[in-house]
A and B are shown apart, each in its own frame.
Chain A
Amino acid sequence: MKFVLLFVGTRDDQDRWDQMTPEQIQASMGGAGDWFERFSREGKIAGGEQLQSYRTVTTVRAENGKPVVTDGPFIESKEVIGGFALVNVKDYDEALEMAKSWPAGPVEIWPAVER
C-alpha cells in the first residue's frame, strides 16, 4: 500500500537555509539523506523530493471559472512542506515506523487511495 509522507518544516527554518552555504545546509539536514538512502535500499521508497523554499511557491485556483494565479502556498501557515516521500509498504505500521525514524522534524502520514 502507498502512503505519502509529508515532511513538515517552518518558514523560519527555510529562511535560515536560504542564508546558508550548501555545506551548511547538508549538515543541518541531520541525516535526511541517509534516511532516503536506507529505505531506498529496502525498496520502500517509490519517489520523493526535497522542495524549494515556500517563497518559490505559486498557487493556481479558479475564481468565477477563471484561473487566478497567486504568489505563495494555498494554506497560510507557519508550517510548510519541506519535502515528501512516496512510500510503498505492507501496512500502516511500516509507514509509521518510517515516519518515526525521520530525523528532521514532524511528518504527516497520508494514505493513498487504492484502486
Chain B
Amino acid sequence: MARGSGRDLAGRGTIGGLDQARSETDAAVAAVFREEAGRLTSAMVRILGNFDVAEEVVQDSLVAALDRWPQQGIPDNPAAWLMTTARRKAIDLLRRDRKWAEKVALLERSSVAETESEDRLRLIFTCCHPALAQDAQVALTLRAVAGFTTSEIAAAFLVAEPAMAQRIVRAKRKIVAANIPYRIPEGDELPPRLDAVLAVLYLMFNEGYLSRGSQPGMRRDLAEDALWLCRLLDSLMPAQPEVLGLIALMRLNLARSAARFDASGELVLLVDQDRGLWDARQIADGVATLERAAAQGRPGPYQLQAAIAAVHAEARSWEQTDWHQIVLLYDALLGLNDSPVVRLNRAVALSHVAGPQVALGEVNDLSMALADYHLFHSTRAELLDQIGEEAQARQARLRALELSQNPAERALLEKKLGRG
C-alpha cells in the first residue's frame, strides 16, 4: 500500500523500483482477498454446513494464492481460481465425511456468484458472536471476512503465530461444538449484536491506526481493512446510523494520518500536526457520512465521537478549535456511556475551556479506575507540566512509559523524559 511503498522507496533507494512493483502486487492481492474471502467463506459454509472446515479451506486457498500469484501474476478471474482451489481442498477434506458424495456434488455445482449479501452478513455476525472472546472475534473476522492470513493477524497484534492459530482454532471449534448458529440476529437482539460487530471493527481500526508507520513491511493495513469492512456492513445493512457514525469516525481519523508521523517516523500529536497534510477530501467524506447518520435523529457513541473528530478536523488551528463544542459532545457521550476513558478525554477538552487546574482535578478523580491505563498517566503529566509541577509530571510520565506497549507512543514519552 501507499504507506509501505513510500517507506521502501525512502529506505532502500537503489532497489526501490523492485520493491514498489512488489508492493503494488501485494496491494492488488490484498484487494482481491478483501473482496473475495468473505464471499468464498460464506459460499463454503453454505455448501459444507460446517463453519470450521469451510473457513479452513478458504484460508488454505488464500495461502496457496499468496504462494503463486506474486510469481505467476493474479489470474484473470481470481474469484474462480480461489473457488476451484477451495473446492479441491474441500473434496480432500471431505473424504471421511458420511455425506461425501452429496457434498462433493454440491461443490461441483456451486459458484461463489451465488453468495447472497445475507450470507456475508451471517458470516460477520457469526465471527463476532458474543460467546467468543473479543480477541478471537477480531482474529476470526479478519481471517474469514477480510481474507487475512494467520501470520498477518499475528504480526498485526504482535502475537506469536502459533498462539494466534490456536486462538482461531479454539474459536472455530466452539462455533461448531456449541452449535452457534450461522444467522443474522433479529429484533431486540440486533442492537447489542451490531454493537459487538462495531466494537470489533473499531478495535481493529485502532490497532492499525495507532501502529501506522511504526510497523514497516506489513502487507495489509488494518485501519484500511477496518474501514472497508465497515463500508461492507453499511452496504449489507443500510441506514444504521451507528455504522455510518463509525465510518465517519474512521475517515476523519484516517484524514489526519499523513500528519501523525514526522520524517523520522516519530509520532506527532494533534497539537503539533501540520494541518496542511490533512486529507481534505477524506474530511469532507467523513463529515458528509456523519451528516447522513445524524439526519436519522438516533445519536450514538460512534456518531458523537465522529462529531468530536469533525470539530478537530474543521478547526484551522489548535488554538481555533471549538473546545466548548467538544466538551458538550463529550457530555452527550457520557450521557450514553459513562466511562472513565471518556471522562479522561473530556478533561483534556475541559483544560482548554477552564484551565489545567480544573482539568487536573477531574483527572485525579479517575486515578483508581484508570490506574493501569498509560494515557491516564501521560494526560496527567501534560496537565502537571502546565501548572509547573515538573517533578510530579515526570513521575506520571515514567508510569505511562511502564504501561505503554505502542512503540510510537513510547518513543514520544522517552523524548519528553529527555531520553530521546
Contact = CB atoms under 8 A, between A and B. Distances in A.
Interface residues of B, number: 10
B180 interface: yes
A interface secondary structure, majority = mixed
B368 interface: no
B183 A93 contact: yes
Contacts of A1: 179
Q: For chain A, which range describes its interface: under 10, 10 to 19, 20 to 34, or 35 or more residues? A: under 10
B interface secondary structure, majority = loop
B131 interface: yes
A79 interface: no
Contacts of A96: 130-131
What 9 A-B pairs have minimum CB-CB distances, sorted nearest first?
A91-B181, A111-B178, A92-B180, A1-B179, A91-B179, A92-B178, A92-B179, A93-B181, A111-B177
Interface of B: 130-131, 177-181, 183, 185, 189
Most chain B CB atoms below 10 A, which of A1, A90, A92, A111: A92
12 contacts: A1-B179, A90-B181, A91-B181, A92-B131, A92-B178, A92-B179, A93-B181, A96-B130, A97-B189, A109-B178, A111-B177, A111-B178
A35 B10 CA distance: 66
A111 B178 CA distance: 5
A93 B175 CA distance: 11
A111 B185 CA distance: 20
Given A90-B181, A92-B131, A93-B180, 17 more contacts: A1-B179, A91-B179, A91-B180, A91-B181, A92-B178, A92-B179, A92-B180, A92-B181, A93-B181, A93-B185, A93-B189, A96-B130, A96-B131, A97-B189, A111-B177, A111-B178, A111-B179
Interface in A57-97: 90-93, 96-97
Interface string A85-115: 0000011110011000000000001010000
